[in-house]
Amino acid sequence: MTAALPEIVDSHCHLDFPDFNGELDAILARAHAAGVRRMVTICTRLKNEPAVRTLAEANPSVFYAAGTHPMSAAEEPLASVDQLVALSQHPKFVAIGETGLDYHYTADSAEIQKTSLKIHINAAQETGLPLVIHARAADADMAEILTAGYRARPYSCVMHCFSSSADLARAALDLGFYLSMSGIATFPKSGELRDIFASAPVDRILLETDSPYLAPVPHRGKRNEPAYAAFTAAKGAELFGLSPADFARITTENFDRLFTKARLPAKVPA
């Protein structure tokens, strides 16, 4: 991989997680060398926002978002719309979330998750920034809440690390939302998920790693990092019958359309 490759954007990673302690400079250098020239690092607990903000401020290629992850919604203080709107004033804060619903491990906190999700939707509506959604094992409630919120007041949204049903994909696409492709799309047993992506409009697809999780083939089972978005991009190009260069260009244009505050390419080492 060389710097001559078209730009790829990792729209969702977690660079503040301890998995990357002491290695951030090397990880960013590998990302840049792989063509990954911009990254959005996601703060999942608002108490960690100052550290994530500092990380983004220190690295030209890194932008950030913040919210309360649904799996920790019952453990963390409930965010307020005003709090999220205030955070959004930072020039490198580019999205609200991640938020959402996760009934796979934390179904017992479904009600607080719904409340938290609606607060984040309201913040996205107030700021005009995209909402970053985590959805697992909660398709019906997710579709209902996202749709009701959009009908009340339109907002933009990405279904991060999409691995849910075709019905939820359709509901999201019908609202004008985006589906983000992670390393899961490269797994051998993910044929049904690949079919969902392949049937979606290519101008609604984003790329992400969700690193340090979900490393794509050929690194599956190892720690993920932003550079590996290039492997997911190669699989996406194959799914859509496009050249890797064209798929990289289209998904980057999609990112710029959604994440408007991160639109201008950052100046990073070649």
Nearest to 138 by CA among 159, 110, 117, 158: 110
Q: What is the pLDDT of residue 266?
A: 44
Whether 267 maps to a domain, the answer reads: no
Cβ count near 270 (within 10 Å): 9
Partners of 93 in the β-ladder? 64
Whether 1 maps to a domain, the answer reads: no
Q: What is the pLDDT of residue 270?
A: 45
Q: Which domain holds residue 180?
A: 8-262
Rounded CA-CA distance 19/234 in Å is 25
Cα distances from 185 to residues 34, 140, 239, 240, 249, in angstroms, run 19, 22, 10, 13, 19
For the entire predicted model, the pTM comes to: 0.95
Q: What is the pLDDT of residue 263?
A: 86
Q: What is the pLDDT of residue 5?
A: 72
Rounded CA-CA distance 172/169 in Å is 5
Q: What is the pLDDT of residue 88?
A: 98
Q: What is the pLDDT of residue 3?
A: 41
Whether 219 maps to a domain, the answer reads: yes
- 8-13 and 36-43 strand pairing: parallel
Whether 110 maps to a domain, the answer reads: yes
Whether 3 maps to a domain, the answer reads: no
Number of domains observed in the structure of the chain: 1
The DSSP secondary-structure symbol of 247 reads H
Whether 270 maps to a domain, the answer reads: no
Rounded CA-CA distance 262/62 in Å is 9
Whether 144 maps to a domain, the answer reads: yes
Positions of the chain with pLDDT under 70 = 1-4, 264-270
Helix (H) or strand (E) run with residue 113 in it: helix 110-127
Q: What is the domain-level CATH number for residue 245? A: 3.20.20.140
Whether 226 maps to a domain, the answer reads: yes
